[in-house]
Amino acid sequence: MKLTTTVYKYKRSAPWMLVLMVLATVLFFYYSSALSPLINLFGIALLIFFAIYAVLRPKSVFSLRSVDDRKLEITPDELVWGTLRMPIQEVEKLEIYIFAFDTFKHQTTGLMGRKAYVTEYGDKNTIAFSYRGVRYDLIFYLGTFKHYDILVKIIQSWRGKGIDLFARSAFEDSYIREQVKKLG
């Protein structure tokens, strides 16, 4: 039983790039009355281009996070992140938060009490732990219900081995399984 998944990393420069972009926009509009209409048109087009570029290109300089090249493997016996192999017995302060798997559909109450269906993304799950004095906080992806089910079984096997861990989920396991049966 093994789960191989994608890990996300945050870019340290991205927030500064966003601040720089906002500052440039504010300064542009502040001084736009003193500029010629042709330069204003060019400046607005450039700002729109940067905004579209940032949205459409996931690896742009404005992206707050990107996919880490190292995969995370979670097994009943160890965690493997890239080339780093960590036996589960040596991992300390293990915390897992399962938000959802990708395309998890569930029913919720919308406006005026109407029932609505919401689809969640699988990229908000986290695992945090210490290994040999180093703290790791990883955001990982769960693609399908099968991946979710494997992770739940691995967590159960860790508990069966007496591994000290804190696991929580945005949704109860029984609710997730009920919604999967009902909505697919």
Sheet with 7-10, strands from edge to edge, namely 65-67, 7-10, 134-140, 125-131, 91-98, 165-169
What per-residue confidence (pLDDT) applies to 151?
95
Strand, coil or helix: 19? helix
Which pLDDT score is estimated for 68? 78
What integer pLDDT is reported at residue 69 of this predicted model? 83
In which residue ranges of the chain is pLDDT below 50? none
Q: What is the pTM of this model?
A: 0.73
> What's the Rg (C-alpha) of the chain?
22
Go through 125-152 and write b for each residue having 16 or more CB atoms within 10 A of its CB, e for each that does not.
bebebebeeeebebbbbbeebebbbbbb
DSSP state of 69: S
